[in-house]
Structure 1
């Protein structure tokens, strides 16, 4: 994912899909730190360079760094993914959306 505009566009799309919504399922094959609980709500999404931080209402922050090959995708439940599941670093499901980070180079959580 290139810097700047692409990261801002991804964050904007994630904000529209996730902010104010409750997580029904969270999965990460590479997570360092506390897990995201089902029932947590997304409060806000911030960007810093190629970093995207998703802040949850329980004080947990999900940090992802995408480098040049990583990308966030949004899908509706039941929609076919454009990439294979084994490339997914993070999966966040709500009732209406599935947000997937593919090939994120860093995936960490911490408490604010």
Structure 2
């Protein structure tokens, strides 16, 4: 039998020690909770939910409620995904339509 030489190119590592591993960690993109307009809930109830659940002042709760009413939606919270999912579930429990999205997608 003939021993054939091992063919290596310039980019072929000689050993595991020659391997360079590059790991890039993407920053956690902020997530948002969006409350959507619906034909069921009264504006006063939406304001109440924003005040009681999020602790918004009356002025801020009414401002966000008007965004929901006039624009069809309002971003009511920003933060880590798990927290935004909890907020969304809470809005569902109050009977409001809400979703979670990446802040960059909104």
Structure with more of its chain in strand, by fraction? 1
Quick check: which has more Rg, 1 or 2?
A: 2
Structure with more of its chain in helix, by fraction? 2
Q: TM-score, normalised by structure 2?
A: 0.28
More contact order relative to length (CA 8 Å, sep ≥ 6): 2
